Amino acid sequence: MEVLFSVIFMLFVAATPSLYARVTPNAGSSNFNIVNYGAKGDGQTDDSQAFEKAWHDVCSATEGTPTLLIPKGKSFMLQPVLFKGPCKIGNINIELQGTLVAPESVDAWKWPDNIKGGWIKFSDINGLVVSGGGTFDGQGAEWWTKYPSASHRPSALQFLSCKNLSLSATNHMNSPKNHISISKCSDASIFNIHINSPEGSPNTDGIDISVSSNILIKDSLIQSDDCIAINNGTSFINIAGITCGPGHGISVGSLGREWKVCIFKGTKNGARIKTWQGGSGYARNITFEDILLDGAKNPIIIDQNYKEYQHNCLAEAVKVSGVTYRNITGTSIFVEAISLNCDSIGCTDIVLNLYIY
């Protein structure tokens, strides 16, 4: 296995013997190859420190478009790691050609003080572009059996407070919990990705979005628990060209968004809006459009009394209004294709234009 390493040397000047310079592994270049920082890429050795060193140089670069290259044909094992901005340049590329793998066993995870609840986190970065055809492998099987409750499991890939984000041409598999988490982000595009976890893996949502705006998700295959889950504080979400299944389809928590030309194949649910018992706020101005259902179990659901665990607080509920289902066609394996559970405070302005058989 080829191993390259960084070199630090002293450059002495006769007139000023104390003066020295640190030479980085990619000095003079905007490309930063992770193997030049000592990463082994054998899938077993902890390469986290090499990534942290490389990220420091990438984020500190002042010329060109700094690019962190993760080469093809190698698997880099990472402990939970934080890639934090802001960076000096407004456009940063992560060229993931190889594979990033989490520790295989739950007990092998080592949590640093600056990151909790996630495996790989990008925070406070403007103009981040992640692509390259490579894979994020969360190795979550042991997490699913050891911790049935999702609250005790980490997400795989997190984006926090990022602007002008682009995620494309990547593969995501076997996250302990949700594969991709978008929180407090704006102006993000996610396209041409593949998310895959075994059918029945609990709460391994494909993409979870919260407190974010202007998010585009398109042209992707998502095979996970909830295909896409939209949570509180979210607005202006456009989802198009998505193939979901098996899994729960697209689940909505609140605020305005639109789905177009999506395929739900063998999903437990199709287009679903779920709001917690005893919740507050609203889910409104939502359009599901041009959706093809192939053997969905519950094609259309509005559930104003959703509960993952038992609650006894039914006095309040999230107000659901302005929901349009347009040009939705296909098949349901159950006779009851539409379920509108709006018993708490009622749902208003619901428009159905569909053909399900």
Is 317 within 8 Å of 304 (Cβ atoms)? yes
Longest dimension (CA), the chain: 88
**Beta strands 92-96; 338-341: pairing state:** unpaired
What band does 257 get if pLDDT is binned at 50, 70 and 90?
low
Q: What's the CA angle centered on 144, arms 74 and 113, to 5 degrees?
A: 70
The pLDDT of residue 272 is: 81
The pLDDT of residue 293 is: 85
What band does 145 get if pLDDT is binned at 50, 70 and 90?
very high
Higher pLDDT, 199 or 348: 348
65 half-sphere exposure, CB direction, 13 A CA radius: 11
Residues identified as active-site? 225, 248
What band does 208 get if pLDDT is binned at 50, 70 and 90?
very high
> What backbone torsions phi and psi does residue 144 show, to the nearest 5 degrees?
-60, -40
The pLDDT of residue 115 is: 80
pTM for the complete prediction? 0.81
Whether 51 shows a pLDDT value over 80: the answer reads yes
347: left (phi over 0), alpha (psi -120 to 50) or beta: beta
Rg of the chain over CA atoms, in angstroms?
A: 23
SS percent in the chain: helix, strand, coil, step 5: 10, 45, 45
Whether 149 shows a pLDDT value over 90: the answer reads no
Q: What is the mean pLDDT of residues 258-280?
A: 71
Q: What's the CA angle centered on 278, arms 272 and 283, to 5 degrees?
A: 40
Distance, CA of 321 to CA of 304 (rounded, Å): 11
Distance, CA of 28 to CA of 305 (rounded, Å): 59
Is 109 within 8 Å of 166 (Cβ atoms)? no
Q: Residues for the chain: how many in total?
A: 357
What is the 3-state secondary structure of 193-254?
A: CEEECCCCCCCCCCEEEECCEEEEEEEEEEECCCCEEECCCCEEEEEEEEEECCCCCEEECC
Tell me which of 179-188, 193-202, 337-346 is least confident.
337-346
Helix or strand run (H / E) with residue 142: helix 141-146
Distance, CA of 102 to CA of 104 (rounded, Å): 6
* Token pair 């076997």 in the structure block, residue: 174
Whether 280 shows a pLDDT value over 80: the answer reads no
Whether 196 shows a pLDDT value over 50: the answer reads yes
Question: How does the average pLDDT of the chain come out, rounded?
Answer: 84
225-236 in b/e form (b: 16+ CB < 10 A) is bbbbbbbbebbb
Q: For residue 247, what is the DSSP state? A: S
